[in-house]
A and B are shown apart, each in its own frame.
Chain A
Amino acid sequence: MIKPQTFAVSAGQIILQGTALSCIRQDRVLFEQLDVSVRSGELLQIAGKNGAGKSSLLRILAGLAQADDGSLYYLQQPIAKVYADYAANLCYIGHHSGIHEQLTALENISFWRAASGIAPADDFALLATLGLAGLEDVPCRMLSAGQQRRVSLARLWFTNCQLWILDEPFTALDQVAIVMLQQHFFAHLQQGGAIILTTHQSLSVAFVHQSKLELAYRW
Chain B
Amino acid sequence: MVMLGQFIKRELRLLARQKADWLNPLLFFVIVLCLFPLGVGPSPNLLRIMAPGIVWIAALLSVLLAAERLFKDDYRNGVIEQLVAARQPLLSFVLAKLFTNWLSTGLPLVLLSPVVALLLNIDAAGFVALLFTLLLGTPLLSLLGVMGAALTVSADKGGILLALLILPLYIPLLIFASAAMEAATTGMSYHGQLAIMLAMLLFALALIPLAVIGALKLNVS
Binding site for B on A (CB under 8 A): 62-66, 83-84, 87-88, 90-103, 107, 110-111, 113-117, 119-120, 139, 165
Contacts and interface: CB of A to CB of B under 8 A. Distances in A.
Nearest to A87: B87
Contacts of B14: 100, 102-103
Interface in B5-40: 6-7, 10, 13-14, 17-18
B18 A84 contact: no
A96 B10 contact: no
- Counting contact residues on chain B (CB < 8 A from A), the size range is 20 to 34
Q: Decide if the interface of chain A is mainly helix, strand, loop or mixed.
A: loop
Given A87-B87, A98-B77, A103-B17, 10 more contacts: A64-B221, A87-B85, A94-B78, A95-B78, A98-B78, A99-B77, A102-B73, A116-B89, A117-B3, A117-B88
Given A100-B14, A102-B14, A103-B13, A110 B6 contact: yes
B10 to A, nearest CB: 5
Q: Decide if the interface of chain B is mainly helix, strand, loop or mixed.
A: helix
Interface of B: 2-3, 6-7, 10, 13-14, 17-18, 73-74, 76-79, 81-89, 93, 220-221
Contacts of B221: 64-66
Contacts of A95: 78
A89 to B, nearest CB: 10
A90 B81 CA distance: 13
Contacts of A139: 17
A99 B80 CA distance: 10
A84 B85 CA distance: 10
B87 A88 contact: yes
A90 B77 contact: no
Contact of A100 (B74, B88, B93): B74
A84 B77 contact: no
B82 A102 contact: no
B78 A114 contact: no
Nearest to B93: A115
